[in-house]
């Protein structure tokens, strides 16, 4: 019995490891495919947005920003597609190894089965079986011989079934292998097209950067002006949030060290719901692509200039509707002297800000629900761009919207 388990245990471990590896590869392949489709949709959205505004005369700055973003997404697509193709190569190699093993097993099974059939044929007559039983020295031996004859017949049947099962398994793996090879070829073909598109975009990028390099100071000045306007809006939002925190403490007992919003029991419930929805909140626009990420980063045009982004900038379609990302209350409509208004929504001690709106559908004090339309993004008439600036705050501290919004 010990010897049997000594052989069985390593086989079970090997089978478990093979199954686990196949499952993990399949899961990884699905994740890569999902990501590839997301990137393809993103490129399609970029193309659609560019078509909407192609009749407008865009500045060199806007053109290079658009191209930089598109090149970045295209490179990610090529990278993910390569990863998929490499994973498929490994899976193809695994299946080819399995096919070789199965063919050897099948060959051995068929040889053994053929030998059994020959042996069975030689002793298949009823007389031979009767003589085999009658030659027994006692009843116990006769009983064992009957049992042996039955077991031998059952073993023959099992071997036949095993051959059938292995044949089917071999056919299925062969079909899977053909499908994998087709899928890999499709990925290779798609990557060739993507690579060709990338080369075109890089040439355009080179031409634009050459034009910009002739007057760097002019474009640096434009970038700084944009950053100054964004900073001004950010400071105003932060000031209003700090005022809200101070107002929440009036008439309430709080510790001197407390710097956060003094919440009511209802506020705490709302804030907890907001927190548990982290990573699952809907986008503030139905269709859009992130053109500027959160945090401090070098300008893609003039690398020596650093850009500070307290939120994200999302390019969307003309007249794109702005949606509240969660239940809350409109705390303030913020007017802008040089720009367009913003809407600030409070969710307990969390705030979300939606800036550069062309139309506003809500007013201060309104209760809003998740995905409720609160306005429209402003479309710049000179370049046709429709950009929403979106920020998330916990008390007065900025948060990375990509950590809160689903698949941002």
- The string of pLDDT tens digits covering residues 23-45 is 566 788 899 899 899 889 888 88
Is residue 171 scored above 60 in pLDDT? Answer: yes
Residue 372 in tokens: 């409720």
- Whether the CA torsion 7, 10, 11, 13 is positive or negative: it is positive
Q: Are strands 328-334 and 367-368 parallel, antiparallel or unpaired?
A: antiparallel
Please tell me the predicted confidence (pLDDT) of residue 95.
81
Round to whole Å and give the CA distance between 398 and 392.
6
Of residues 340 and 144, which shows the higher confidence score? 340
As a dihedral over the C-alpha atoms of residue 265, residue 266, residue 268, residue 271, rounded to 10 degrees, the angle is 180
Pairing of strands 397-399, 312-315: unpaired
* CA 323 – CA 280 distance, rounded (Å): 15
Report the CATH number of the 220-404 domain: 2.70.70.10
| Cβ-based burial of 284 (10 A; exposed 0-12, middle 13-18, buried ≥19) | buried
Question: What is the pLDDT of the chain when averaged over all its residues?
Answer: 84
Stretch(es) of the chain classified as CATH 2.70.70.10: 220-404
pLDDT (tens digit per residue) in 275-299:
999 999 999 999 999 999 999 999 8
Place 396 in a pLDDT band, splitting at 50, 70 and 90.
very high
Quickly state the pLDDT bin for 162 (edges 50, 70, 90): confident
Phi, psi of 387, deg, nearest 5: -120, 125
Q: Report pLDDT digits (tens) over 254-266.
A: 555 667 999 999 9
The answer to whether residue 391 scores a pLDDT higher than 90 is yes
User: What value does the mean pLDDT take over residues 162-172?
Assistant: 81
364 or 216, higher pLDDT: 364
DSSP state of 298: E
Q: pLDDT, tens digit, for every residue of 69-88?
A: 889 899 999 999 999 999 88
* Residue 141 CA: distances (Å) to CA of 146, 154, 159, 259, 340: 9, 20, 26, 93, 101
Q: DSSP letter string over 6-66?
A: HHHHHHHHHHHHHHHHHHHHHHHHHHHHHHHHHHHHHHHHHHHHHHHTTTS---HHHHHHH
d(CA 390, CA 398): 11
What value does the mean pLDDT take over residues 124-142?
A: 65
Mean pLDDT of 151-162: 72
- pLDDT at residue 7, rounded to an integer: 46
Q: How far apart are the first and last CA of the chain?
A: 58
Compute the average pLDDT of residues 298-320. Answer: 91
Distance CA 313, CA 387 (A): 6
Which of 144-148, 184-188, 391-395 ranks highest by mean pLDDT? Answer: 391-395
């Amino acid at each position: 019995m010990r010897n049997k388990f000594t052989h069985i245990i390593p086989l079970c471990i090997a089978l478990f490891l093979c199954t686990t590896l196949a499952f993990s590869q399949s899961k990884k392949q699905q994740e890569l495919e999902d990501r590839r489709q997301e990137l393809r949709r993103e490129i399609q959205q970029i193309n659609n947005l560019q078509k909407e505004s192609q009749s407008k005369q865009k500045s060199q700055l806007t053109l290079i920003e658009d191209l930089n973003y598109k090149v970045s997404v295209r490179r990610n697509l090529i990278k993910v597609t390569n990863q998929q193709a490499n994973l498929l190569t490994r899976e193809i190699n695994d299946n080819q190894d399995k096919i070789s093993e199965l063919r050897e097993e099948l060959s051995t099974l068929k040889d053994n089965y053929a030998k059994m059939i020959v042996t069975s044929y030689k002793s298949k007559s009823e007389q031979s079986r009767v003589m085999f039983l009658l030659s027994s020295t006692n009843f116990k031996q006769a009983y064992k011989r009957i049992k042996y004859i039955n077991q031998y017949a059952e073993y023959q049947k099992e071997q036949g079934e095993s051959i059938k099962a292995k044949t089917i398994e071999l056919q299925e793996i062969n079909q899977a292998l053909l499908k994998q090879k087709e899928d890999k070829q499709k990925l290779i073909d798609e990557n060739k097209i993507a690579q060709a598109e990338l080369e075109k975009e890089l040439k355009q990028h080179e031409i634009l950067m050459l034009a910009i390099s002739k007057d760097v100071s002019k474009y640096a000045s434009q970038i700084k002006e944009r950053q100054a306007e964004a900073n001004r809006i950010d400071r105003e939002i932060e000031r209003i949030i700090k005022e809200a925190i101070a107002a929440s403490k009036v008439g309430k007992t709080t510790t001197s060290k407390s710097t956060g919003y003094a919440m009511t029991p209802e506020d705490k419930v709302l804030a907890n719901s907001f927190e548990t929805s982290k990573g699952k909140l809907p986008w503030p626009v139905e269709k859009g692509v992130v053109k500027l990420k959160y945090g401090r980063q070098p300008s893609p045009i003039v690398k020596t200039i650093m850009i500070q982004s307290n939120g994200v900038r999302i390019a969307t379609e003309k007249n794109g509707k702005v949606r509240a990302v969660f239940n809350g209350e409109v705390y303030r409509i913020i007017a802008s002297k040089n720009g367009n208004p913003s809407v600030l929504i409070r969710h307990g001690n969390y705030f979300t800000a939606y800036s550069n709106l062309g139309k506003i559908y809500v007013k201060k004090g309104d209760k809003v629900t998740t995905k409720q339309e609160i306005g429209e993004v402003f479309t710049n008439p000179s370049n046709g761009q429709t950009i929403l600036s979106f920020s998330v705050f916990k008390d007065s501290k900025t948060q990375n919207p990509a950590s809160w919004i689903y698949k941002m």
